[in-house]
């Protein structure tokens, strides 16, 4: 008896789907649209942290290592600190650039030299605009880069020669490029670290180290604590403006995505509700006949809930596929890279869409109140 009842259930289920194709198609479109937008936003949310972190890493260093202040002289650190940083093998470390600042003269003009590793500076400050060429080798002792304000004051251009003197030491360099950074570097002459150490007579000494660390603000804080434990005697501190801004923007993006998904699902549920309300009016006669033939209210409701669940499953599957394409398009427009589809979004999208479909099918539950006698009398 049970197999026959089961077979009858699915036969009636298929008949209901075929008989109400128009109304169900409208509900399916609403569910697919809501699922597509939700799926796209969920994919973006999962990738937002990685993409936002990548964007922030192009803004410069977010962690600084410096010797503690002592007296009136500028404190210096041992260059061996770079080996200790490298020995951490931290995967979140994007770049580490040592700096030695030297007061020098270019002819009769006083200038500030910033000796560093050019290959690391390029990783940390990729947003610098350079007229000319980047210096790619950290061992280059014959070229320098000049900030645009210093270049204007000294009348320098790419290819110009500049003679620098500090105390009894002097060096002659060729300008490889003019830097526009919108910061202190615009007034500095950037040379290789070896050049600055030789000119100042300070071999193996550093003023500070700038680091670019990927991750959220909490992850950057954790890295800072680990680094401080490794570099005892040195001040290790995050650039809190960048870390705080990154955390704040990420939290706002996530909040915006959450409330947008909630709004979209609410509107989807209202669309399904409208379709199901019209469908309920059409099915009063069918329900009356089912009851007259002995159908119980729980069985009839299971039939309609199965129909709503099937709509949610189909809408969620179709919406997820559309959402993947939509997420890639949004990622290309906003971040300049494609958003990778996340498989974990698929079950979440299905569950959300099925729940919305069941919520929207509430009018069908009112069919349980239909009286067979009234339907048979044609009322």
216 plus 163 within the same structural domain: yes
Residue 176 confidence (pLDDT): 93
47 plus 73 within the same structural domain: no
In terms of C-beta density within 10 A (0-12 exposed, 13-18 middle, 19 or more buried), how is residue 51 classed? middle
Helix pair 284-292, 297-334: axis angle to 10 deg: 140
98 or 283, greater pLDDT: 98
Kind and range of the H or E element at 349?
A: helix 345-360
Q: What is the pLDDT of residues 288-345, one digit of tens each?
A: 556 555 555 566 667 777 777 888 888 889 999 998 888 888 877 766 666 777 888 8
Pair 175, 142: CB distance under 8 Å = no
Mean pLDDT, rounded, for 6-14: 60
Domain that holds residue 110: 63-238
State the Cα–Cα distance between residues 8 and 293, nearest whole angstrom.
13
Residue 369 confidence (pLDDT): 57
Last residue of a domain, one of 205, 238, 271: 238
Q: What percent of the chain has pLDDT over 90?
A: 26
- Distance, CA of 122 to chain centre: 22
State the Cα–Cα distance between residues 349 and 36, nearest whole angstrom.
9
256 plus 179 within the same structural domain: no
State the Cα–Cα distance between residues 365 and 371, nearest whole angstrom.
14
71 plus 162 within the same structural domain: yes
Backbone angles phi, psi at 164, to 5 degrees: -115, 140
81 plus 203 within the same structural domain: yes
21 or 90, greater pLDDT: 90
Tell me the residue ranges of DSSP E strands in 107-168: 109-116, 129-132, 143-147, 161-166
How high does pLDDT run on average in the chain? Answer: 80
42 in any annotated domain: yes
State the Cα–Cα distance between residues 64 and 95, nearest whole angstrom.
12
20 plus 95 within the same structural domain: no
89 plus 170 within the same structural domain: yes
116 in any annotated domain: yes
Residue 16 confidence (pLDDT): 62
Pair 311, 24: CB distance under 8 Å = yes
109 in any annotated domain: yes
* pLDDT class of 155 with cuts at 50, 70, 90: very high
* pLDDT class of 354 with cuts at 50, 70, 90: confident
93 in any annotated domain: yes
Mean pLDDT, rounded, for 32-51: 81
Residue 156 confidence (pLDDT): 92
Q: What is the pLDDT of residues 173-194, one digit of tens each?
A: 999 999 998 888 899 999 999 9
pTM score:
0.59
Residue 178 confidence (pLDDT): 94
- Where helices occur in 88-189 by DSSP H, the ranges are 118-124, 148-154
260 plus 343 within the same structural domain: yes
Last residue of a domain, one of 238, 269, 294: 238
Number of domains in the chain: 2
Mean pLDDT, rounded, for 7-27: 65
Backbone angles phi, psi at 212, to 5 degrees: -110, 120
112 in any annotated domain: yes
Residue 1 confidence (pLDDT): 42
67 plus 32 within the same structural domain: no
128 plus 170 within the same structural domain: yes
Pair 326, 338: CB distance under 8 Å = no
State the Cα–Cα distance between residues 56 and 218, nearest whole angstrom.
15
314 in any annotated domain: yes
316 in any annotated domain: yes
71 plus 208 within the same structural domain: yes
Last residue of a domain, one of 238, 261, 284: 238
243 in any annotated domain: no
134 or 52, greater pLDDT: 134
230 plus 310 within the same structural domain: no
């Amino acid at each position: 008896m049970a197999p026959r009842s089961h077979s009858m259930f699915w036969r009636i289920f298929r008949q209901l789907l075929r008989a109400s194709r128009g109304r169900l198609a409208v509900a399916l479109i609403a569910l697919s649209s809501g699922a597509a937008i939700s799926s796209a936003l969920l994919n973006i949310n999962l990738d937002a942290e990685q993409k936002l972190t990548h964007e922030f890493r192009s803004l410069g260093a977010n962690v600084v290592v410096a010797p503690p202040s002592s007296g009136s002289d500028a404190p210096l650190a041992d260059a061996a600190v770079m080996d200790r940083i490298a020995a951490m093998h931290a995967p979140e470390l994007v770049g580490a650039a040592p700096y030695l600042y030297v007061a020098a003269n270019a002819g009769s003009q006083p200038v500030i030299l910033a000796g560093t590793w050019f290959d690391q500076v390029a990783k940390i400050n990729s947003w610098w605009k350079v007229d000319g060429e980047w210096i790619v080798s950290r061992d280059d002792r014959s070229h320098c880069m000049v900030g645009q304000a210093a270049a204007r004051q000294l009348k320098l251009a790419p290819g110009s020669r500049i003679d620098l003197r500090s105390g009894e030491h002097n060096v002659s360099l060729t300008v490889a490029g003019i830097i526009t950074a919108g910061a202190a570097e615009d007034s500095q002459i950037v040379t290789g670290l070896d050049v600055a150490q030789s000119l100042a007579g300070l071999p193996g000494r550093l003023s500070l180290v700038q680091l670019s660390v990927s991750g959220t603000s909490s992850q950057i804080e954790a890295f800072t604590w680990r680094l401080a434990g490794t570099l005892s005697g040195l001040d290790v501190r995050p650039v809190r403006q960048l870390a705080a801004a990154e955390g704040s923007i990420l939290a706002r993006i996530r909040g915006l995505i959450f409330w947008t998904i909630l709004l979209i699902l609410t509107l989807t549920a209202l669309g399904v509700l409208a379709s199901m309300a019209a469908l309920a009016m059409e099915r009063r006669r069918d329900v009356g006949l089912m009851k007259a033939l002995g159908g119980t209210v729980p069985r009839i409701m299971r039939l309609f809930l199965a129909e709503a669940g099937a709509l949610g499953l189909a809408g969620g599957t179709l919406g997820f596929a559309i959402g993947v394409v939509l997420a890639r398009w949004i990622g290309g427009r906003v971040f300049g890279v494609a958003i990778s589809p996340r498989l974990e979004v698929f079950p979440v999208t299905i569950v959300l869409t099925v729940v919305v479909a069941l919520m929207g099918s509430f009018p069908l539950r009112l069919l349980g109140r239909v009286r067979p006698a009234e339907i048979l009398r044609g009322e």
